[in-house]
Chain A
Amino acid sequence: MAGPVYIADCESAVQSVALDGLSVLFHAPSGMTHIVAAPAPEILEALRIGPAGAGELLARLRAWYDFEGDEAADAIDARLAELEAAGLVRRA
């Protein structure tokens, strides 16, 4: 069964500044600030290409970055759940 498809706000709605290995994000629609670690910024970047499920997202990320091992899919699922709870991604 296909999992949910996620969507992220466009780049102009989420301002990102790298600080000391972490990223601070200002999410304009909510006015909230988030401090996130990799691969959360990369997931948001990959979702800006267009809505995607976890499998498609992992394929996009693998095209850009070295994601080794079978745990990558679990990690993407976990990060997507966190980003959804934070309001930084939503279901399409």
Chain B
Amino acid sequence: MRHRLSIQIGPVAFRIGSAWKAPLDALAGLYADYPKPADGLTDFTVRLEPEKPWRRFIRPSVAIRGDYCLPDATPMSLAHGLLAAEMGMNLQMALGQKNYLLLHAATVEKDGRALIMTGESGAGKSTLAALLGERGWRLMGDEFALLDLDSGLLMPFPRAVSLKNGAIRVMEAEVDPARFGPRLEATPKGEIRHMRPNADALARMGEGARPALILFPRFGEDAAIRAVGAAEVFMRLTQASTNYVALGRRGFDALTGLIAANPALAIDYPDTDTALGQIGGFWRELAA
């Protein structure tokens, strides 16, 4: 590939190659403070290539390729190259990660204990994790919770937070502008802007945490809290995992162990302040 970049995110090392300079320049700026893979070895490779050779110049169109590919993935506009790189990294993790049980969830940590937040797209887990990460919690990740199959610890995966639509304004009011990537308009997911996690999240990206609470947030409803039964949690987390089936019994053991050891709650919230208040209350009760 003409242009290359290697990035360490938590326990995972990526190498990203691109036929174009611009997406990697944007990625290098966004990931400026991340370490390079220590031994030069990488876990996953992502390639951003022209869909056809001539498409590098004429109406450039980015195809996402790598160790693992989706054969019918739709090529993306070069203007969204940064999003293509992010989606490529997610895809390699989702299809290729064998060392951890992957949950599509955001995680934050406080006092050595981790909160797992999972839910459908739009539930607000990224926004809540990003906000908590600026308000006394450590952001461990906004997209993937990595559950260590042996120790049961959650490992951080603090990639750049992918903020969508209304969440962009919420975080722009909270965070130094230098930590944001370019604004990506009219992507398949709407408006997107990436935000680099703060220095604490990056400095501690090798530090795992014991899970303490599983939360299913849902945005846009009147405030409500309900306990979620273990069997329902199991079903929802198998649906939220990209590699549960591939891990076989190791995944089963890790997931049942996580659920048996931790309470689970579902919250509805009309605004982020309400959710932060609910979460603060849970944490005080857990500490008591």
Contacts and interface: CB of A to CB of B under 8 A. Distances in A.
Interface of A: 15, 17, 19-22, 24, 26, 28, 31, 33, 35
A20 B259 CA distance: 10
Interface in B172-220: none
Given A17-B260, A19-B256, A19-B259, A31 B231 contact: no
B260 A31 contact: no
Contacts of A15: 249, 252-253
Contacts of A17: 252, 256, 260
B5 interface: no
Contacts of B259: 19
B242 interface: no
A1 to B, nearest CB: 39
Given A15-B252, A24-B256, A31 B234 contact: no
A19 B234 contact: yes
B230 interface: yes
Interface in B209-259: 229-235, 238, 244-245, 248-249, 252-253, 256, 259
Contacts, number: 38
A33 B259 CA distance: 15
A22 B248 contact: no
21 contacts: A17-B252, A17-B260, A19-B233, A19-B234, A19-B256, A19-B260, A20-B231, A20-B232, A21-B229, A21-B231, A22-B231, A24-B231, A24-B234, A24-B256, A26-B252, A28-B249, A31-B245, A31-B248, A33-B244, A33-B252, A35-B235
Nearest to B247: A31
Contact of A20 (B230, B245, B253): B230
A17 B233 CA distance: 14
A1 B230 CA distance: 43
Interface residues of B, number: 17
A20 B234 CA distance: 10
A40 to B, nearest CB: 13
B24 to A, nearest CB: 39
Contacts of A28: 248-249
B244 to A, nearest CB: 8
Nearest to A24: B234
B176 to A, nearest CB: 44
Nearest to B248: A31
A88 B6 CA distance: 47
A20 B233 CA distance: 10
Contact of B249 (A19, A20, A26): A26
Given A31-B245, A33-B238, A35-B234, A20 B252 contact: no
A26 B250 CA distance: 10
Contacts of A21: 229, 231
Contacts of B260: 17, 19
Nearest to B249: A26
Contacts of A20: 229-232
A19 B232 CA distance: 9
Nearest to A31: B248
B231 A19 contact: yes
B230 A19 contact: yes
